[in-house]
Chain A
Amino acid sequence: MALLSTADQQALRDAFGAMTRPVTILFFTQAIGCETCAETRQILNELTEVTTQVTIQEVNLVLEGERAASYGIDRAPGLVLLAGDEKADTRIRMLGAPAGYDFMSLVDAILLVSGGSPQRLSAATEARLAGVTEPITVQVFVTPT
């Protein structure tokens, strides 16, 4: 059964219409011990049905461990967003199924890296970020509801 309603699909088509460059999602999976990999696969597949600008590339976490490690991914399901034809790393990752509220987070992130998001950081934040010179990883814990 489809997760997205017809109305959802239309809303997403409208939103994704603002994308100015393609987005590739690396989808790290594993066959055993990943309870939500199947659900994540379905969600991602339904996304690709409403836009041709999003491509899913499924990667086996175990078989391609080095590739996973290069993105800091050590569990599944893990998503990595890459922007443009050059597949530039956006440094945006998600661990766990992008369901419920987090589905909107994923849509928001796709729009952001595709140039289709109207939201901007403030000039003050941009200035503060320009002063960051050491690597920082920021984990944000969320729940789907």
Chain B
Amino acid sequence: MGLANRMAFASEHITSVTVQASEFYDLSRKYRVSGVPKTVGSNGVEILGALPEAQFVEELLGAAADEVPGSA
């Protein structure tokens, strides 16, 4: 619970906004929320459903540069 909140609290560059989908239909429509939880990053990443921490972080932020296979 609250992974995005924990990430925001840990990094000064991350802001977490929890949105009640049923109260703000305009936002739900805009981001095509078909189920919850749905995570939408300002970097364009969208994650539908809950994921374990490691996967959530990788999906949201991408693999760290030095962990990408084949990168220099």
Contacts and interface: CB of A to CB of B under 8 A. Distances in A.
B60 to A, nearest CB: 7
Interface residues of B, dominant DSSP: mixed
A141 B37 contact: yes
A122 B54 contact: yes
Contacts of B19: 94-96, 139-142
Interface string A107-140: 0110011000001011011111111111111111
A94 B18 CA distance: 5
Interface string B2-45: 10111111111111111111111001100101001111111100
Interface in A73-96: 75, 90-96
Q: How large is the interface on A (under 10, 10 to 19, 20 to 34, 35 or more residues)?
A: 35 or more
A104 interface: yes
B6 A124 contact: no
Contacts, number: 163
A36 interface: yes
B64 A128 contact: yes
A143 B18 CA distance: 10
B1 interface: yes
A91 B20 contact: no
Contact of A125 (B1, B12, B41, B53): B53
B58 to A, nearest CB: 8
B18 A126 contact: no
Contacts of A142: 18-21, 36-37
A97 B23 contact: yes
5 contacts: A91-B9, A96-B20, A122-B54, A141-B36, A142-B36
